[in-house]
Amino acid sequence: IYSDAILSNTLRRNCHDNYFLACVSIMVSSYILTAAYLKHHFNEPTKRAVFYPFYHGRTLFRHVKRNVLAIWQGCNLPEEPAEEKRHTHAVMFMEAISESMLQLSLSCLLIREFGLSSNGYEKFNQLSGLCSSLMSMVVLFAKVRHTIYNK
């Protein structure tokens, strides 16, 4: 989200209003699609679906905390509860499909149209946004493929 916000701000500052609106629309539509998916597919309460970034962040933080404590104590990493794992994967997959794919396409279009920025900070954000969107897609589809073929 950070790289997307920086990209949209850069587009706004450089007077590329249509691309700015496209970038913001991608972020907003991703949020709405993911919240609607959680509400209707997982039958989550409206409050939990609307505030899913906070609940998702808390779940990820708990997972990291459990793993760090296990490493600190020299134990094996704990298994993530099946329902938590399913929910986390669903949120990440919906975000990747609805946001990363479109942001990757937009980043490629912008680099093709205007090239890389001459400003080092903006160039870094262009490339990191491109790479993070690409990695998000690759990792999520690899997880789906792994799940399908290892049943």
- When pLDDT is averaged across residues 55-75 and rounded to a whole number, the result is 89
Q: Rounded mean pLDDT of the chain?
A: 82
Burial class (CB in 10 A: 0-12, 13-18, 19+), 74: exposed
pLDDT for 68 equals: 92
- When pLDDT is averaged across residues 121-140 and rounded to a whole number, the result is 82
Residue 60 has pLDDT above 60, yes or no: yes
Q: What does pTM read for this prediction?
A: 0.73
Residues 110, 126 contacting (CB under 8 angstroms): yes
Q: How many CA atoms lie within 13 A of 91 on its CB side?
A: 22
- When pLDDT is averaged across residues 38-52 and rounded to a whole number, the result is 88
